[in-house]
Structure 1
Amino acid sequence: MTESQWNQCADDIFQMVVNAFKECRIPEKLNYTLITLVPKVDSPQTMVHFRPISLCSTLYKVISKVLVARLRHILPHIISPNQVSFVPGRQITDNILIAQELMHKFKLSKGKKGFMAWKIDLSKAYDRLNWKFVEHVLVELGLPCPITKLILCCVSTVRYQICMNGELTDQFLPKNGIRQGDPLSPYLFVMCIEKLSHLIEDSVKKGVWKPVKSSQSGPAVSHLFFADDLVLFAEANSTQARVLKSCLERFYNASGQTVNYDKSVVFCSPNTRKETAKEVSLICGSPLTEDLGKYLGMPMLHSRITKLTYGSLIDKVHKRLASWKSKFLSLAGRATLIQAVTSAVPIYAMQTSKLPISVGHELDKLNRNFFWGGREKKLKIHLCQWDLACRPKHKGGLGFKKTTAMNKALLAKVGWRLHQNDKGLWAKIYESKYLKGKSVLDSSLMFRQDCSTTWKGVMYGVELLRQGVGWRVGKGDTTKFWKDSWLIDEPLLKHDGVLHIEDIDCSVSNFFKDDWWDLDKLRRALTEDLVQHVVNYPVGFASNLQDCQIWKGTANGVFSVKTAYNMFFKGPSWPDYSFSLLWKLKIPPKLKIFAWLIAQGKILSNEQRVRRQLTLDASCGVCEWPIETTLHILRDCYKARDIWNTTNLLSQAVWCSNIPWSLVFIFTCWYVWKWRNHQVFQGDDDVSPYPKQLIVRAVHEWFKASRVLSKHNHKVQVDLKWEPPISGQFKLNVDGSRRNGSGHIGAGGVLRNSSGDWISGFAVNLGKGQILEAELWGLFFGLKLAMDKEINNLVVELDSALAVQLIQKQGLSDVHPLAALVASCWELMHKINCCSVYHVYREKNCVADCLATWSYNLDLGFYIFVDAPAWIGPSLIDDLLGFTRSRLVPTDLLV
């Protein structure tokens, strides 16, 4: 189904889904499934070496995904915390962190009590699942009867055909099992394997199963599940081994599952007697191992981490790069492969472990050599340092990811989740073992000697986390005015704008007065410039929202790995170039890289070649100018001048009048560089008899292709005017304003009735800040004015779509920097009977716009206009007379 066909088939599909849920069954033909065999090994020899993937019909998947969407919401409430797969809010890394901590416990265990871990491999887990067992589980979990019937219909009415050697076999009916490829299957399996979790938890409660604790006061862990990846933990003795096997057998007899005992392994802590370990292995029926190997793709750390521990990452990247021929790819093509493939290889491992520095350097080396076109035995010139290439694009780099920096940013995310009081089992283990009531940002946690390698990695990431954590002030009674970083990146105590400190431990709320700042108190403590920044801070004067710590690097206050990584590169700025603009240009990717090299001065001119000791002659190979610089090659050399003159670009010729100048300029620079190299290295003095024609053709081809690929949103001119509210209603128009030069912000608003009569207006000077803050402060003061006037049935209009979105988004996160101000607006709206907020275009909001602009003439603070000022008269009259103003509006926004 394509987007273009949706209008023709949407109603039929919708009715089909409705009927399926109404009748609790699906059409028979809808469940016909094609099985294709995907090799699991390089050279498959038997059927065991293939993984059967079920290709379900698209229409069936619509029904299946609707069921999944409904099941996802209940899974966190019915699935134990030991299972993390396909459960919203849980991550695969959770169980890896727990397993690493338990291995650390095993490593440090002393005395007679040993511990065991049994890693279990299920044989054909999906294929063996018994349908009767599935039904029993669904009923036991309390799913509604119609949903249970529909799920069982999806599972049991399947018809299979196998695609072998390009031909289809006859249809056949299965008797059990669920399909790999069905969106519903993973969720069904998770619910079924939960039955085993119930059996284990029941044994633990009865005291029969002795689980393992990573610390004395920590939670006991008896098992870890990720779909069909099972690890069981218990004390290492024969009695416990029999209990484990008994639980498994009870589950397998009911569900139809089977253990592959040869692939399963038993690992015992080093303090376990050898005889006991062998006895445990014999009872379990699985071989004993001294190394648990990998769990969920990550090595279980039993000793010191070395380069060999994560050598597989280097091998994977090396294997990928070896299959690509860099000489057939442009720099842009190589950059794409590095960013999309090789840089992603170590990401999974770096989420839970600090890689050795040598591994990070080796991975960077492989990517670096591939990007510049070098091979293992034949390196090529690197035009810039890798550190520069690894900078974010808006900071002058190419956006590559430096492995060690990315590793630290990913581990900082684990620290952030702990800081935000994650409720998962992994967080409880860390809380009981390491935090013990302290904040993860507490620097004393860095110096523990008895911690695991995994915890050391988390603390490595927390170093970065500390740099980006700030405060979002709500009520202001928790945040310290002088000591906490709530206004700027450092405590106000360290700022040069401090005049007088009366109480160094006072909170921010000490500077509040009557739902606004105490300006007199602020001016005694801070310089006027700093006061200008304080007064616009989005605190929650009218809300009960508590203060909390947020991530300062993002607009929504939620931690992101991208912004954490960017913190490594605060570095110098580049005032001569706007790198963000460069990457937004609609030009071929290879020309973007070329333009970046020009901007960085990294084109391999003879001047650069002399610096790199590749030649002794710095002169131009075309005109013999003494020093050949980048500027000389592209502009000053007579050959370059001839090309620029021939193309007649300075006069903006007709041929390029409808084409962006940036596109024409970059293409011309590219051809100048290309022809210069052709002449210097191949000795061909005749560059091209028609340079203009070649450039024109290339520019037009790209311009035409890019326009075809891009979607055009046409605009039409519409006439807009302010519309009075209906009889019995009042309308509040508010607006914010900002002067880009000085950064001053202000807000204003007007309250009118259904006749358009002036009831009241206001303007507020908010100091220095951002436009969105001004818009929301304008709404806050406008609502406050309406409430003081005892106005009900209020319609509020703003011309900031983003501000309206924040107000209408009831689920706004508490860590959003503007959450307290938005919450204050909500509180005021709830106190006004029947209040609604809408977005309008500026042409409908002219009076409020004039008031907001006028606020710059006022001192800091809030001012009410009982009567309309004379200077606002023309705009008021225009609104009363229904004067229209024109605006170009995208067609998709027209109602």
Structure 2
Amino acid sequence: MVEVKEKVRRKLAGWKGKLLSIGGKEILIKAVAQAVPTYTMSCFLIPKGLCEEIEGMIRNFWWGQRKEEKKIAWVSWEKMCRAKADGGLGFRNFHAFNLAMLAKQGWRLLSNPKSLCAKVYKARYYTNGDILNSKLGCNPSYTWRSIFKGLEVVQKGSRWRVGNGRLIHIWEDKWLPTPTTYKVISPPRPFDDFPMVSALIDVDTKRWKVDTLKSLFLPFEVETILNIPLSYSLLEDKIIWVGNKRGEFLVKVRIVALTVISPSDRDVVLRRRYGVCGAEPLDFSDLALKFLEASNPKDLEILVVAAWAIWHNRNLKVFESDSQGAEQTWDLAISMIYDFKEAEKFCSLGPAACDICWRKPPDGVFKINSDGAAADDGRRSSIGVIIRDFRGQVVAALCRVLPSCFTVDETEGLAIEAGILLAKELDLNQIIIESDSLSTVQRILSKDCSGGFGHIVNGIVSFLDGFMSWQIRHLKRDFNRVAHELARFAHCNNVCQVWRGVSPPVVRKLLHLDGL
């Protein structure tokens, strides 16, 4: 480990600090000095004292200190390690970076259990279990000690995605989509010798056992569980990362999480940073001006969305006798900013990204149009599907109310899945699927099975492999009116209905317009 320190010292000693600009020093530190220990940190746990010594050498070089010469550090190193968007310079916190890199190795062993490295570690350290429940063991290697330290990070930032529920313990594992704990907080009750989540799922209907849930959990947790979508194929459970929507481990995200201040200190830090500590209470406009004077537009963006989240939480408390914790309110604000920026990317796509109108499929091919309706008022989501042949005649259609209120992506995925299952029931071998959800179509085409509803995408992909030929396309909502109207009809009237060989009366006019 000392060799790593010496390499960094030699690199810094060979540079002429007085001849470099501030920008030049920054580039050299990031591109060379901070890159030297990267490989070692990805394999071994570096002592925290050594990390501080390396940071001390880099800090002295930055402020122009030589040998025993004393220079004033005008800004703390902690602030300089923040991202530039947060007022720092983006330097690395070496200890946090070390833990994040080791956590990445643990995540690889978890997500690729069939790799040679994973098989070796499993045979040595967790023969009869999985890596997340492994023990340090007797006389372990230093490599395993290091990875084991990184696993603590993985355990804190991951949860189970429910597939068939056979691997998830009801009371001990993290499997609920509730930030902070992700665990069941209802008091344990006598239920089976091995209380696994699979006992809560009806394998015939592919739905949750509502009566069993109500007998075991508190009412609000029953609602939370019902909002977890189940794939019709009931695939195996999977560990996903909770730090992003894709459910994949990212070193950058984990470094931010390891270096961020604790929620209990957030208010104090913000007050001190923006100069409002001990002052008279400010209204929103004055506080926004303080943010603009003391920081950057990104802080103002967070302030506005966080203020809305706080107001939303206040309304829940006043009008519905319900409220969220401070951490959940903060997470809601951050997730809304992320969702908005992701939506902006899709809005930038031009008209060439999808068909301009509904067209009849080729001879012998059947076209499936699907759509979902997700409500913001807590009502259950609904889906609509219609299948037409090469003449534009209706082969089958359905509208259905889903068991609970799901997200937009989950609802659209379940709508596509329902259309494929209906086509399989009718023994249709060649299909074209059209949906107005661009993100869902892209995930299916790329076979992206990560994230909270990746099991639905995985199930769709496995079902599609059973067809002779298939295509999936994005269609503008204006030309997906029939499926949209069926979903809206189910949502408004709370009905579930299937039509075979006849046109649904509610959409006959729209079908005529599509045929023109």
| Same fold, TM-score > 0.5, yes or no | yes
After superposition, residues 747-826 of structure 1 pair within 5 angstroms as 747-758=383-394, 759-765=396-402, 767-809=404-446, 817-826=452-461
Q: 1:427 to 1:479 in 2, by over 3 A?
A: closer
Alignment of 1:341 with 2:32, yes or no, is yes
1:382 maps to what in 2?
Answer: 74
Give CA deviations for 1:296-340 in whole Å, capped at 9, x if unaligned: xxxxxxxxx6xx4543144145336x434587335xx65555443
Give CA deviations for 1:834-854 in whole Å, capped at 9, x if unaligned: 443222233322232344455
Q: Shift in Å at residue 632 of structure 1?
A: 8.4
2:328 maps to what in 1?
Answer: none
Q: Shift in Å at residue 462 of structure 1?
A: 1.9
Alignment of 1:319 with 2:7, yes or no, is no
Q: 1:386 to 1:844 in 2, by over 3 A?
A: farther
Q: 1:375 to 1:630 in 2, by over 3 A?
A: farther
Q: Secondary structure at the match of 2:12?
A: helix
1:684 maps to what in 2?
Answer: none
1:864 maps to what in 2?
Answer: 497
Q: Percent identity?
A: 26
Picking from 87, 91, 96, the partner of 1:400 is 91
Residue 385 of structure 2 aligns with an amino acid whose one-letter code is G
Q: Shift in Å at residue 779 of structure 1?
A: 0.8
Q: 1:511 to 1:785 in 2, by over 3 A?
A: farther
Give CA deviations for 1:603-647 in whole Å, capped at 9, x if unaligned: 9xxx89xx9xxxxxxxxxxxxxxxxx99689879xxxxxxxxxxx
What is the alpha-carbon distance in structure 1 between the residues aligned to residue 140 and residue 183 of structure 2?
35
| 8 Å Cα contact 2:356/2:475 also seen in 1 | no
After superposition, residues 238-637 of structure 1 pair within 5 angstroms as 308-316=2-10, 318-319=12-13, 322-325=15-18, 328-329=21-22, 335-368=26-59, 373=63, 375-376=65-66, 377-383=69-75, 385-391=76-82, 399-419=90-110, 420-421=112-113, 423-424=115-116, 430-431=121-122, 433-442=124-133, 444-445=135-136, 448=138, 450-488=139-177, 494-495=184-185, 502-503=191-192, 505-513=194-202, 514-527=205-218, 529-542=220-233, 545-553=235-243, 555-569=245-259, 571=261
| 8 Å Cα contact 1:601/1:630 also seen in 2 | no
Q: Secondary structure at the match of 1:478?
A: coil
Residue 415 of structure 1 aligns with an amino acid whose one-letter code is G
What is the alpha-carbon distance in structure 1 between the residues aligned to residue 426 and residue 360 of structure 2?
19
Q: 1:635 to 1:878 in 2, by over 3 A?
A: same
Q: Secondary structure at the match of 1:563?
A: helix
Q: 1:414 to 1:630 in 2, by over 3 A?
A: closer
After superposition, residues 155-170 of structure 1 pair within 5 angstroms as none
Per mean C-alpha deviation after superposition, the further-off stretch among 486-495 and 400-409 is 486-495
Alignment of 1:844 with 2:460, yes or no, is no
What is the alpha-carbon distance in structure 1 between the residues aligned to residue 28 and residue 514 of structure 2?
58
Picking from 343, 364, 372, the partner of 1:736 is 372
Q: 1:453 to 1:791 in 2, by over 3 A?
A: closer
Per mean C-alpha deviation after superposition, the further-off stretch among 871-880 and 454-463 is 871-880
What is the alpha-carbon distance in structure 2 between the residues aligned to residue 823 and residue 461 of structure 1?
29
What is the alpha-carbon distance in structure 2 between the residues aligned to residue 528 and residue 630 of structure 1?
39
Q: 1:452 to 1:506 in 2, by over 3 A?
A: closer
What is the alpha-carbon distance in structure 1 between the residues aligned to residue 120 and residue 97 of structure 2?
26
| 8 Å Cα contact 2:100/2:255 also seen in 1 | yes
What is the alpha-carbon distance in structure 2 between the residues aligned to residue 366 and residue 768 of structure 1?
55
Q: 1:530 to 1:380 in 2, by over 3 A?
A: same
What is the alpha-carbon distance in structure 1 between the residues aligned to residue 86 and residue 489 of structure 2?
37
Q: 1:456 to 1:501 in 2, by over 3 A?
A: same
Q: Secondary structure at the match of 2:13?
A: helix
| 8 Å Cα contact 1:747/1:764 also seen in 2 | yes
Q: Shift in Å at residue 780 of structure 1?
A: 1.0
What is the alpha-carbon distance in structure 2 between the residues aligned to residue 841 and residue 326 of structure 1?
58
Picking from 344, 357, 373, the partner of 1:721 is 357
What is the alpha-carbon distance in structure 1 between the residues aligned to residue 291 and residue 385 of structure 2?
58
Structure 2 alignment gaps of length 5 or more: 279-286, 301-347
What is the alpha-carbon distance in structure 2 between the residues aligned to residue 724 and residue 830 of structure 1?
23
| 8 Å Cα contact 1:465/1:564 also seen in 2 | no
Give CA deviations for 1:257-286 in whole Å, capped at 9, x if unaligned: xxxxxxxxxxxxxxxxxxxxxxxxxxxxxx
Q: Shift in Å at residue 568 of structure 1?
A: 1.4
What is the alpha-carbon distance in structure 1 between the residues aligned to residue 185 and residue 94 of structure 2?
35
Q: Shift in Å at residue 773 of structure 1?
A: 1.9
Q: 1:869 to 1:839 in 2, by over 3 A?
A: same
Residue 505 of structure 1 aligns with an amino acid whose one-letter code is F
CA root-mean-square deviation: 4.5
Q: Shift in Å at residue 547 of structure 1?
A: 2.8
| 8 Å Cα contact 2:441/2:472 also seen in 1 | yes
Give CA deviations for 1:337-362 in whole Å, capped at 9, x if unaligned: 54433322221111122212222112
Residue 74 of structure 2 aligns with an amino acid whose one-letter code is H
What is the alpha-carbon distance in structure 1 between the residues aligned to residue 419 and residue 226 of structure 2?
17
| 8 Å Cα contact 1:483/1:505 also seen in 2 | no
Q: 1:492 to 1:727 in 2, by over 3 A?
A: same
| 8 Å Cα contact 1:499/1:527 also seen in 2 | no
Structure 1 alignment gaps of length 5 or more: 1-304, 577-598, 612-628, 637-661, 666-712, 882-895
| 8 Å Cα contact 2:4/2:36 also seen in 1 | no
Give CA deviations for 1:190-243 in whole Å, capped at 9, x if unaligned: xxxxxxxxxxxxxxxxxxxxxxxxxxxxxxxxxxxxxxxxxxxxxxxxxxxxxx
Q: 1:756 to 1:369 in 2, by over 3 A?
A: farther
| 8 Å Cα contact 2:375/2:405 also seen in 1 | no
Q: 1:873 to 1:415 in 2, by over 3 A?
A: same
Q: 1:868 to 1:429 in 2, by over 3 A?
A: closer
| 8 Å Cα contact 1:743/1:769 also seen in 2 | no
Q: Secondary structure at the match of 1:546?
A: coil
1:293 maps to what in 2?
Answer: none
Q: Secondary structure at the match of 1:494?
A: coil
Give CA deviations for 1:12-38 in whole Å, capped at 9, x if unaligned: xxxxxxxxxxxxxxxxxxxxxxxxxxx
Q: Secondary structure at the match of 1:462?
A: helix
Q: Secondary structure at the match of 1:486?
A: coil
What is the alpha-carbon distance in structure 2 between the residues aligned to residue 798 and residue 479 of structure 1?
33
Q: Secondary structure at the match of 1:406?
A: helix
Residue 382 of structure 1 aligns with an amino acid whose one-letter code is W
Q: 1:499 to 1:415 in 2, by over 3 A?
A: closer
Q: Shift in Å at residue 365 of structure 1?
A: 3.1
Residue 421 of structure 1 aligns with an amino acid whose one-letter code is P
What is the alpha-carbon distance in structure 2 between the residues aligned to residue 792 and residue 831 of structure 1?
8
2:309 maps to what in 1?
Answer: none
Per mean C-alpha deviation after superposition, the further-off stretch among 472-481 and 862-871 is 862-871
